[in-house]
A and B are shown apart, each in its own frame.
Chain A
Amino acid sequence: MKLPALDRRALYVLLFLAVALPLLFPIGLVGSVSKSTRQFHRLIESLQPGDVILISFDCEAASWAEIGPVARAVILHAMKRDLRIVGTSFLSEGTALGYRLLSELATEHGKSYGEDWAYLGFRPQYVAAMLGLGESIIREYPKDYLEQPAESLPIFAGVQSYRQIKLVISIADDSMPQYWVEYAGGRHGVPIAAGLSAVMLTTFTPYLDSHQLVGLVSGLKGAAEYEQLLGVTGAGTRGMDAQSSAHLAIIVLVVVGNAIYFRGRRKS
């Protein structure tokens, strides 16, 4: 099935332009906010200042371009609500990315480490860690990501295990939220929400319907919607123009491909 007329390199250039041009000349396309993003936003709004939430970066470096904006929007909202944040990660590559995002936003919002937020770092065996957090955070993570003893951090004075954590948010590009639901949610009853890459939405929509997940934001479109609710323009909003133009470019390609195909068939 050789390409009838267009050489594939022409397609590549066309697609790159379809993505690059809207970045250079933003249009500002804005879609409506979906029910699940609005529900997630209401969930964070319902938490009181000073409440502690746990954010786990369960994603790989390769998909940060899509999952990073989702994480940024959610953390931005949490910090605006003056929630206290404890960070962890169950995928080795996500660890450094999560720490860098949290510390960047923390300095922007004048949040002090140890007081308003802390980062526990990476655990390879995630099931054991999820169950351990149900017994005692300090026993499961004696040292935090910066190698300091966890007891010395004031944030852990009042926070002993899931009982004092109001919400767990798994920032994931694969199936980790399923284990959070089964082990943390199922056994300890702590509410679980998830920030996902778009491809995982079909996998976890059933969990939202059955209330095993209390909130779900997915893909760059989800990040753009969340930024709209927060009244900020971030990578999500900027991305919407490029996404739309890229999708349209591919649709035009498919139509052109079929047109050439039919003209070729009618001739033979």
Chain B
Amino acid sequence: MRLRLPLFLVTGFGVALLLQYFIPLPAGQAFYSRALEWMQVIFAAGLLLGGANFARLHLKRAATRKDERPYSLLALAALATMLVAGAVSIGRDSTFLWLFDNLQAPMQQTVFSLLAFFVATAAYRGFRLRSVESGLLLSVALIVMIGRIPVGELISPVLPQAASWLVDVPAVAAKRGILIGVGLGSVAVSLRVILGVERAWLGGSQ
């Protein structure tokens, strides 16, 4: 029962929504939008479940692990503040938006900007002329980097053209090769899911 019912649902919804793509009857259309809405509702419920899991985890850490207590309390305080502020109002000059604008957004932008530093160390460490392949990787990256800034044009007009040709022709070809491979792999996985053979999401079949 714990296994057969979910597997029956997977096959049922999988086949129904695959066939619906080809059956434009109003009933099929209604079922399609109903299924989309249910998926949104389930993701939303999942998000609240995440919030509950987050609170439970940090309460337990605060209670049991002394060294983690201050940090877990901080996390819980931040969560509580945001929930209370959000319950009151999320309008234009609400505390909720103020907290987002002046605390959450700047920190998110700063974490994102860490990438500028990490791109530099990754390039420094990773771009080594060890083989034909890594040589290609290194030289193309340098050409594209130089070609994309004003200095590149000053060195020679060929650079920007070479950079855009490399991006527009060979790079796009390799990307297409990857996408076709991934596309076929995805269809294979979806078929195995609908047939009930692929059960990784249910606890695996190994």
For residue A47, CB closer than 8 A to chain B, the reply is no
Chain B proximity of A177: nearest CB distance (Å): 18
Contact A243 B116 (CB under 8 A): no
Given known pairs A31-B149, A146-B92, A251-B145, the reply for A257 and B120 (CB within 8 Å) is: no
Determine the distance from Cα of A202 to Cα of B175 in the docked complex, in whole angstroms: 11
Docked complex Cα distance between A6 and B125 (Å): 10
CB <8 Å contact, A257 and B127:
yes
Q: Is A48 an interface residue (CB 8 A)?
A: no
B131 within 8 A of A: no
Expressed in whole angstroms, the minimum distance between the Cβ of A222 and any Cβ of chain B is: 11
Give A250 to B92 CA distance when docked, in angstroms. 41
Cβ B116 vs Cβ A246 within 8 A: yes
Pick the contact of B153 from A16, A32, A146, A205 — CB < 8 Å?
A32
Identify the closest chain A residue to B130 (Cβ): A261
- List B contacts of A29 (CB < 8 A): 149-151
Interface centre among B108, B111, B124, B153 (most CB of A within 10 A): B124
- Whether A1 touches B125, Cβ cut-off 8 Å, given contacts A29-B151, A146-B92, A202-B167, is yes
Separation of A147 and B101 alpha carbons in the complex (Å): 20
Interface flags, A247-268, vs B, CB<8A=1, else 0:
1111101101110011000000
B34 at the interface (CB under 8 A from A): no
- B62 is an interface residue with CB less than 8 A from chain A: no
**Which one, B108, B112, B119, B129, contacts A250 given CB within 8 A?**
B119
Contacts of B172 in A (CB 8 A): 202
Partner of B109 from the list A65, A198, A244, A257 (CB cut-off 8 Å) is A65
The DSSP consensus for interface residues of chain A is helix
A56: min CB distance to chain B, Å: 19
A81-105 at interface with B (beta carbon < 8 Å): 93, 96, 99
Q: Considering the chains assembled together, what is the distance between the CA atoms of A64 and B105 in angstroms?
A: 10
- Taken residue by residue from 99 to 126, chain B's Cβ proximity to chain A (1 for < 8 Å, 0 otherwise) reads as 0110001001101110011011101111
- Of A7-15, A71-79, A109-117, A154-162, the one with at least 4 CB within 8 A of chain B: A7-15
A258 CA to B139 CA, complexed, in Å:
12
Q: How far is the CA of A246 from the CA of B125 in the complex (A)?
A: 17
**Closest Cβ neighbor of B157 among chain A residues:** A32
Shortest C-beta distance, B102 to chain A (Å), equals: 12
Which residues in A have their C-beta under 8 angstroms from that of B101?
96
Interface string of A5-41 (1 = CB under 8 A from B): 0101001101110010000000001111000000000
Q: Is A213 an interface residue (CB 8 A)?
A: no
What's the minimum C-beta distance from A137 to chain B, rounded to whole angstroms? 21
Which residue of B has the minimal Cβ distance to A31?
A: B150
CA distance A31 to B152 in the complex (A): 9
A148 interface residue, CB < 8 Å from B?
Answer: no
Contact A254 to B146, CB < 8 A, known contacts A64-B109, A65-B113, A96-B97:
no
| CB-nearest residue of chain A to B149 | A244
Verify if B56 is at the interface (C-beta below 8 Å from A): no
- A258 proximity list for chain B (CB < 8 A): 127-129, 138
Quick check: B128 and A61 within 8 Å, CB to CB? no
CB contacts (< 8 Å) of A63 on chain B: these are: 112
- Interface 0/1 of B4-38, CB less than 8 Å to A: 00000000000000000000000000000000000
Query: Bound state CA distance, A263 and B132, in angstroms?
Result: 19
Q: Judge whether B123 and A254 touch: CB under 8 Å.
A: yes
B142, closest chain A residue (CB): A251
Partner of B117, one of A1, A15, A240: A15
List A residues 203-256 near B (Cβ within 8 Å).
Answer: 205, 221, 240, 243-244, 246-251, 253-254, 256
User: Told that A146-B92, A202-B167 touch, could you supply 4 new A-B pairs with CB distance under 8 A?
Assistant: A31-B149, A61-B105, A64-B109, A247-B145
Residues of B whose CB lies within 8 Å of any CB of A are: 91-92, 97, 100-101, 105, 108-109, 111-113, 116-117, 119-121, 123-129, 138, 141-142, 145-146, 148-151, 153, 167-168, 171-172, 175
A-B pairs with lowest CB-CB distance, top 7: A31-B150, A61-B105, A62-B112, A244-B149, A253-B124, A29-B150, A257-B124
A/B interface sample: 17 pairs, CB < 8 A: A1-B126, A3-B121, A19-B116, A30-B150, A31-B149, A31-B150, A62-B109, A62-B111, A93-B100, A99-B92, A202-B167, A205-B168, A247-B151, A251-B145, A254-B123, A254-B138, A257-B127
